[in-house]
Amino acid sequence: HMINAETLAQTKKGVRIINCARGGIIDDDALLAALQSGHVAGAALDVFHTEPPDMDAPLIQHDHVIVTPHLGASTTEAQQLVAEQIAELIADALVNGNIRNAVNMFPVDRVTYERASPYIDLAEKLGALQAQIIDGQPVALTVEYYGDALEHPTGLLTSAVLMGLMRELESGTVNLVNAPMLAQERGIRVDELRTTGQEDYSSLITVKLTSETESGEEQTRSLAGSVFGEDSERIVRIDGYTCDLIPEGHVIIVWNQDVPGVIGEVASTLGKHGVNIAFGSFSREHPGGRALTAYMLDSEVDDATLRHLDSLDAVLRVKYAHLR
């Protein structure tokens, strides 16, 4: 209790107590004792520790206590004003696209949302791709923003990342509003960073996802995307490897040793299983080191094809994803 026997004793004799905030603020027994001793001259109470209160309680029946029923918002005039405000807010959202006073949504007007739309779409797909290439259970997510991406509501973009991530992990409805809550329920820590300095891109969203595997080890995967022009979205980095990937459709990512013939083996294996390559992006650390290839495909890849690819000598890891 903020107001108890000790704090009441520090007040001047004859003080009057008014409480229209929360009932738990005042120790009822201490207030009654102070009233009975005459230290408190009177009290006006609109809220109580237990509501509705016991009307026969000594505090309420005390001659120097005035009680009101905590119904200020339920008068005819107040209800009329609330109804008008609700109607105005809904009309503004539907007609003008302005979201104001929302308790579970970022306040953003239609123009701002439309300008940010390519970044929202990119952020969602980065989250969806992360969910499909990571091993184990996600435990931490870091989203970094650079350049032009900082001109948009980053909180909204982070929610879009979470929406993409959680739609792959949850079976129910996932949207911009409930995605952060669903991530919190899963125990996923979310951090948002703004970065400056030199970069190869005018805008960059980097999504780092850490998971805990069945063996108890932590694994972190990093994806980065950029928007070229007004709305041309690209994934430009995977685990630090430079790439150029349109984030849509069927995608397969191959981590491999940089040795002669591995790209041909992967392409041949996909062809044997009836999968056509639409586009490929290749990157490596250095000659003879590790490399990464991202392929855009014309059709889905089944488990048998993935097992065949994974069995190739130079292939270290294979992941398939479908970006809608």
List, by residue number, the catalytic residues.
22, 51, 70
In sequence order, what are the residues at sequence separation of 6 or more whose Cβ sits closer than 8 angstroms to the Cβ of residue 77? none
Q: Are 243 and 237 a contacting pair, CB within 8 Å?
A: yes
40-45/15-19 β-pairing:
parallel
Task: For 321, list phi and psi in degrees, rounded to 5.
Answer: -145, 150
Residue 226's CB is within 10 A of a number of other CB atoms, namely 25
In sequence order, what are the residues at sequence separation of 6 or more whose Cβ sits closer than 8 angstroms to the Cβ of residue 94? none
Q: What angle do CA 261, 220, 224 make, to 5 degrees?
A: 75
Token representation of residue 311: 């069995």
Among the listed residues 6, 75, 73, 11, the one whose alpha carbon sits nearest the alpha carbon of residue 43:
11
Helical residues (DSSP H) of 70-201, grouped into ranges: 76-91, 110-133, 154-169, 179-185
For residues 104 and 107, what is the distance between their CA atoms, to the nearest angstrom? Answer: 9
